Amino acid sequence: MKAVEQLRSPLRVFEKLESEVRSYCRSFPTVFTHARDYKLWDAEGREYIDFFAGAGALNYGHNNPKIKEKLIEYLMNDGVTHSLDMATAAKENFLKRFYHVILKPRGLHYKVMFPGPTGTNSVESALKLARKVTGRDTVISFTNAFHGMTLGSLAVTGNKFKRKGAGIPLNNSISMPFDNYLGDEADTVNYIERFLEDNGSGVSLPAAIILETVQAEGGINAASFQWLQRIEEICRRWNILLIVDDVQMGCGRTGPFFSFEPAGIQPDIVCLSKSIGGYGLPMALTLIKPEFDVWEPGEHNGTFRGNNLGFVAAAQALSYWENESFSEEIKAKGERVRVFLEKLVRQHPEMEGEVRGRGLIQGIAVGKDGLAEKICAAAFERGLIMETSGANSEVVKLLPPLTIDEAGLNKGLQILEDSIKWCKKGH
């Protein structure tokens, strides 16, 4: 019976040929074919609203038309596609655009490193560099942090299941409590400070502190700006490098281009990926304060550092940041989402819900075991793609493209409400 069923499954090819490790295709069991902005369509022509946005890689929507145009033009002209870390006109253009549109107006001084095309490449390069600069071994990371799946990044990631996947002990990292981890009354920075001040604490002076300003995978935990400032002070006091992993929160997810801007802090190293490639193309940057750019040539490398389609798309995507309007728009949409979610939580107290997040990374932490997953499954049935986050999949996460229009946002929120109601009925 099961075999017959599988043969008829739309995913039968994947079930037969792809590894068991596949994951999201189990939550969203259909074969997608087309996409545009906040919409996806599957092979049967069904339309979906996307509140997942490639886990933050599609801030500018699927197949953004202006970027697409540039890509096709570049392809047709036989622009260099793959260039390792050789100089190309596309890379040069991106570097100049990034400098003029992003760094200079914000008064930020960073050298740009292309560490390979994914977030974990960027994190690994940041950790290496911090250790080289300081000559120290350990790195402080936070509870419920997510920084990547390669061994260096995994060592600073909190999730037990992912960590266990390493198959060996993950070392040279120390997990400290994130903002609010111990409840409202306890300031976790005091805790960290106590360990660093005390010569008998068993915690050595770290090379770096690495953090996300909002932990998306970890359950949408948003650090307060004051907490971020205090962490920065700690870094300054002990000459610890501050690494902000803005892979998911950067590129406008919380409103400003860098998520740390409103906190007024200046990280020593910034990791960018996901939406930096504009069109969902693999690309990553590591931004380094010039005084810490002590790499030897080639000390870190990688085959796909020079994905020029990424550079072309990224350069075009930066147009969104030439003035304040895009950022304002995100904030307004975020406000809209906040109000809606607060209302849902009030109207459905049995969810034991708590609204979390900032900008267009928001969600509801659901107190009832397993309910968050049911809501997301119900939403998918209704044409909304949305995933849970948190170590126990306890948070319903809304992560729409930043470019989503009002109609799309409303429709998605409506489906969310319907799904909650449907679950409430005991389905």
Binding positions for a copy of itself, 293-352, rule CB under 8 A: 293-304, 307, 309
Residues, the chain:
427
Could you give the 3-state DSSP secondary structure of residue 36? strand
Residue 231 pairs in a beta bridge with: none
Identity at 364, one-letter amino acid code: I
387 backbone dihedrals φ, ψ, rounded to 5°: -120, 165
Residue 347's Cβ-side half-sphere holds a number of Cα atoms within 13 Å equal to 11
Nearest distance, CB of residue 355 and a copy of itself, angstroms: 19
Q: Does 21 bind a copy of itself (CB under 8 A)?
A: yes
Q: Are strands 395-398 and 387-389 parallel, antiparallel or unpaired?
A: antiparallel
Task: Please choose, out of 25-33, 249-257, 318-326, 348-356, the segment that lies near a copy of itself by the rule CB under 8 A.
Answer: 25-33
Residues between 359 and 388 with contacts to a copy of itself, criterion CB under 8 A: none
Residues between 29 and 68 with contacts to a copy of itself, criterion CB under 8 A: 29-36, 40, 43, 52, 54-58, 62-63, 68
Give CA–CA dist 91/15, Å, rounded. Answer: 39
Give CA–CA dist 295/293, Å, rounded. Answer: 6
Nearest distance, CB of residue 33 and a copy of itself, angstroms: 5
The helix-helix angle for 308-317 and 89-97 (nearest 10°) equals 30
Cβ closer to a copy of itself: 82 or 343? 82
Q: Does 180 bind a copy of itself (CB under 8 A)?
A: no
Give CA–CA dist 52/224, Å, rounded. Answer: 24
Nearest distance, CB of residue 240 and a copy of itself, angstroms: 14
Q: Does 70 bind a copy of itself (CB under 8 A)?
A: no
Cβ closer to a copy of itself: 1 or 23? 23
Report the residue from 164, 237, 343, 427 that binds a copy of itself according to the rule CB under 8 A. Answer: 164
Nearest distance, CB of residue 314 and a copy of itself, angstroms: 14
**Sign of the alpha-carbon torsion through 416, 420, 425, 427:** positive
Q: Does 131 bind a copy of itself (CB under 8 A)?
A: yes
Residue 368's Cβ-side half-sphere holds a number of Cα atoms within 13 Å equal to 16
Size of the site for a copy of itself (CB under 8 A): 151
Q: Are strands 47-50 and 39-42 parallel, antiparallel or unpaired?
A: antiparallel
Cβ closer to a copy of itself: 130 or 344? 130
Report the residue from 391, 411, 418, 422 that binds a copy of itself according to the rule CB under 8 A. Answer: 391
Task: Please choose, out of 157-165, 228-236, 334-342, 403-411, the segment that lies near a copy of itself by the rule CB under 8 A.
Answer: 157-165
Nearest distance, CB of residue 188 and a copy of itself, angstroms: 10
Give CA–CA dist 61/358, Å, rounded. Answer: 19
Residues between 101 and 120 with contacts to a copy of itself, criterion CB under 8 A: 111-114, 116-120
Site string for a copy of itself, 257-296 (x = CB under 8 A): ----------------xx----xxxx---x-x----xxxx
Give CA–CA dist 134/207, Å, rounded. Answer: 6
Report the residue from 66, 106, 162, 338 that binds a copy of itself according to the rule CB under 8 A. Answer: 162
Q: Give the helix/strand (H/E) hosting 204.
A: none
Residues between 216 and 255 with contacts to a copy of itself, criterion CB under 8 A: 218-219, 247
Give CA–CA dist 402/327, Å, rounded. Answer: 9
